Every structure is written in structure tokens, then in C-alpha cells.
Amino acid sequence: MRKKDFLKEKRFYLVIFVLLFILHPLNLFGQGENIEKTFKVEIKNNLISVYVQNAELSDVLQEIEKGTGVEITIGKELVGKKITSQFENFEVEGALREILRDNHYILTLFQDPENKEKHILKEVKVEGTVIGSKSYKGEMITIEIPYGSGEGEVGAVDEGEGVIIGPKSFTIDDKGNIYICDTVNNRVQIFSRDGKHLSAIPLEMEAMAEDIAVDSSGFVYIYDQLGKLYQYDKKGNMVNKINVGWRGGGTMHIINNEIYMYACDFNTCGDFIIGRVLNNVLVGPSAEELKRFKEPLKGKQGLSGKKYMTSLKRFEKGELKIEDRESTAFKILSFPFKNILSIKFLGEDKRGDLYIKTERDNENQELVVEVHKFNPHGDYLGTIQMPPSNIRFWSVKNYSISKNGIIYGFLPEKDKLRLNIFPS
């Protein structure tokens, strides 16, 4: 062999040796790279096992789609996203939740029409627009109401040592007027949307006002701490009073002349019927309806008749379940924020759009309060972040939605009651 050929062959083997050294599993630099590209998805008896590191999200979801027949689409913001996940023998829904738990996603489920106990996962759709990214651009209106016992004031008592009583609750009528439970002064104070004091309704001496509601005819309803429900007309005259027979905390709302209390037991939260209006007169619930006080609660009704159930998963992931009138189908919206402290369905407007309030800690351990808006189909429309506040007096509810989609924030602060209004 000539010297020239020998040197050429020597260089060839040297290159091969270097390549083998770089790519060999025992090589410390190559080993980590090899593990990062691990991709394994197994589906047996519709149970999914996943072991992936730094794999394409779209590839993993495509394997699950092929193996289960579930339709899966992802938004443009997740194209090219890498994931790392490891679990064994999860059902389809659980597997997808585990894979997508750190991303922005909405799971859509429907009830099996032939078996109401069974729910079928039809689609997993990661929205092109992330929840929270569509901020409200409108102008906030602020009303400040002083504390006191005067005509345009509301009562507040802060004597320390646990003696702290302020305005307990509020509601809005169809014209946008604001009704405030002035518990300290035993009255209802009524203000216009621009903060002008309109009138006051003096309450019965024995009434200890806890919550308030107004129906479409202008009748005012007061629920007190002793379990009584009062009805007043527009002029402030008491029309009727009934004994609900149940003492407990909650918030009232009126659907089709039926008055509901949304409250919680040890299992879940939902509506109790506490009264109804017949020929403009308040009447009590039937004996059969009163038995429901002892039954598990389930969901809050909207104006459309749909039921909305909110819950926290792992004490930080928010979820909203929507049922239709017949409870034959439902959709689940999963909120992708971390460190959610509470999630609450506020209500629907007359168009059927729905509003969800979340409270969460941000990176600086500050409380962030946000109201998220969805259309009747559950598609995300936008988010309003509430300005920070320093609430001093506890109230039954701090946020409410009018039928026109206006958001009201009720904030009893140390020196004044502040109302923030966000036009639709």
C-alpha cells in the first residue's frame, strides 16, 4: 500500500472513530441529547401511556388521535411547541389533560344520549387566542360613596376587636340603578349608574339584611340572617314576608319569577329555590322544594336555563362545566392559569354571553382578580383585569353582571365604598 493511500485510509478511520465517540450512548455530551429526543406513545384498550421528552406536541397528539379517533386540533401559538411528559394507563381525557396541563386549552365533552352517566370526549381544541390575552380596552367608571348615615351615604362600623360591619351586598336593576344593602342603617340605598342618590327603602326593624335582588318589575327582595325573605314595591312598601326555613349564607338571583339562593354544602355548590312571584306577590316554596335543602347542590342557573358549575382542581386549576336545560350535554372549560385561589360563575347577559371571575396569585404574590367573557357556545371573547383594591368590610358579593353585560365591582374599602363599572 502506498503511503498516500495509507494516510487517506487513516484519516477515514479517524473520522469514523470521532463520530462514533460523539454519538455513542456512553458519551456524556451525546447522552443528554439522546434522552431529550425520547418519543413513546402507547395505546392499549383505549388506555394511554406516554414517555416523551422534548417531543413535538403536534406529533404526540397526532398519535393519540390516530389511536383513539378523538378529533384534536391545536392553535397556532402551540405549533412547534415541545413537551415533556410521563404517565401510564390514563383514559383519553386524563391523558390529554396531563399532556396539556401547562398549555392553554379547552376540552369539549358531550353526554352520551343513550347513557346519561357516560360522557364522550369529542374534541380537544387549544384556542388560537389564549385566555387572558384579549384585554378590555374600554373606560372604567368609578363611583365613590361615603360612609355615614346621611341621605347619600351607607353605614360602616369599624370598632376593632372583631366589630366590623359594612354594606353587605348590592344588585342592579334593568335600568342600571344600583341597590345597596345598608345593613348598619337598616335600609336599602338606591343610586343611579352615575352615582346620584335616588331614594331609600327603610327595612323592618327586625330585618338583618344579608342579600338583595330586584326583579324585572322593580320589586325588591331582601334575605336576612334569620332566614326570612321580604318583598318591597318600588315605593318602598312591604308587600309580603315569608319564612324560608333555612339559615345559611349565599347569594340570591331571580330566573323567570323564581328566586334562588346559590350556596354551598360539604360536597358542591348550587341553587336552592327559596321563593317565587305569582301575580306580583312573593310566595314560599312548596314542601317538596324545601326538601332540596337537604340534598346535594349542583350548579348555578343562568338566564338561558343552562347550569354552570365551577371547581378547582389540585387547588390551583380552574374549571367550568356547562349543562344545557335537559342536562343532556355539557361542555368543560379549563382555565390555564396557575395558582388560582377561586373561580366563580357571575352570570349571563341577555345575549347569552357568560362571565367567569377568577382570583389568583401572580409572580409577585399579589392578588389578581379577572373577569373572563365567553359567548353562548363557550368560545373565549376577552378578559378584564380588575384594578387592585383594599377591601375592609366583608360583603356577600363583590362582582355582578347586568343583563346588558355591564360588569359592576362592589368594593367596601376602609374610608369609602367604591363601585367600579365596566361598560359592555
Bigger pLDDT: 119 vs 140: 140
Q: How far is Cα 5 from Cα 309, in angstroms, rounded to an integer?
A: 79
Q: How far is Cα 233 from Cα 219, in angstroms, rounded to an integer?
A: 5
Q: How far is Cα 388 from Cα 188, in angstroms, rounded to an integer?
A: 27
Closest listed residue to residue 343, CA positions, set 330, 351, 332, 327 = 332
Q: Which of 123-127, 135-139, 211-215 has the lowest mean pLDDT?
A: 123-127
For residue 53, the one-letter residue type is: Q
Q: For residue 381, what pLDDT is reported? A: 86
Asked if the model's pLDDT at residue 339 lies above 70, the reply is: yes
Instruction: Give percent of the chain above pLDDT 70.
Output: 76
Q: For 10-36, what is the mean pLDDT?
A: 42
Q: Which 3 state secondary structure label does DSSP give 161?
A: coil
Q: Which domains does the chain have, with CATH numbers?
A: 34-105 (no CATH), 141-422 (2.120.10.30)
- Residues 6 or more apart from 226 whose CB is under 8 A from it? 206, 208, 247
Per-residue pLDDT tens over the stretch 203-232? 998 888 999 999 999 999 999 988 899 999
Asked if the model's pLDDT at residue 340 lies above 70, the reply is: yes
- Residues 6 or more apart from 287 whose CB is under 8 A from it? none
Q: How far is Cα 326 from Cα 374, in angstroms, rounded to an integer?
A: 21
Q: Which of 90-104, 144-158, 186-200, 221-235 has the lowest mean pLDDT?
A: 90-104
Instruction: Give percent of the chain above pLDDT 90.
Output: 41
Q: For 297-316, what is the mean pLDDT?
A: 84
How confident is residue 93, by pLDDT bands cut at 50, 70 and 90?
Answer: confident
The burial of 408, by beta-carbon neighbours within 10 Å (0-12 exposed, 13-18 middle, 19 or more buried), is given as buried
Q: For 115-138, what is the mean pLDDT?
A: 65
Q: For residue 345, what pLDDT is reported? A: 95
Q: How far is Cα 386 from Cα 399, in angstroms, rounded to an integer?
A: 10
Asked if the model's pLDDT at residue 21 lies above 60, the reply is: no
Q: For residue 137, what pLDDT is reported? A: 65
Q: Which of 30-34, 51-55, 145-149, 205-209 has the lowest mean pLDDT?
A: 30-34
How confident is residue 287, by pLDDT bands cut at 50, 70 and 90?
Answer: confident
Mean pLDDT of the chain: 81
How confident is residue 90, by pLDDT bands cut at 50, 70 and 90?
Answer: confident
Q: Contact 230/222 with Cβ under 8 angstroms?
A: yes
Asked if the model's pLDDT at residue 27 lies above 60, the reply is: no
CA–chain centroid gap for 130, Å, is: 15
Q: For residue 118, what pLDDT is reported? A: 62
Asked if the model's pLDDT at residue 5 lies above 60, the reply is: no
pTM of the model: 0.74
Asked if the model's pLDDT at residue 364 lies above 60, the reply is: yes
How confident is residue 134, by pLDDT bands cut at 50, 70 and 90?
Answer: confident
For residue 388, the one-letter residue type is: P
Strand pairing class (115-125; 71-73): parallel
The burial of 114, by beta-carbon neighbours within 10 Å (0-12 exposed, 13-18 middle, 19 or more buried), is given as exposed
Asked if the model's pLDDT at residue 122 lies above 70, the reply is: no
Bigger pLDDT: 23 vs 285: 285
Bigger pLDDT: 8 vs 68: 68
Q: For residue 164, what pLDDT is reported? A: 87
Asked if the model's pLDDT at residue 371 lies above 90, the reply is: yes
Q: Which of 170-179, 282-291, 361-370 has the lowest mean pLDDT?
A: 282-291
How confident is residue 45, by pLDDT bands cut at 50, 70 and 90?
Answer: confident
Q: For 369-387, what is the mean pLDDT?
A: 89
Q: For residue 24, what pLDDT is reported? A: 44
Bigger pLDDT: 44 vs 408: 408
Bigger pLDDT: 37 vs 38: 38
Strand pairing class (300-301; 281-283): unpaired
Q: For 281-295, what is the mean pLDDT?
A: 75
Per-residue pLDDT tens over the stretch 239-274? 999 998 666 678 999 998 999 999 887 667 888 889
Q: For residue 109, what pLDDT is reported? A: 63
Q: For residue 327, what pLDDT is reported? A: 62
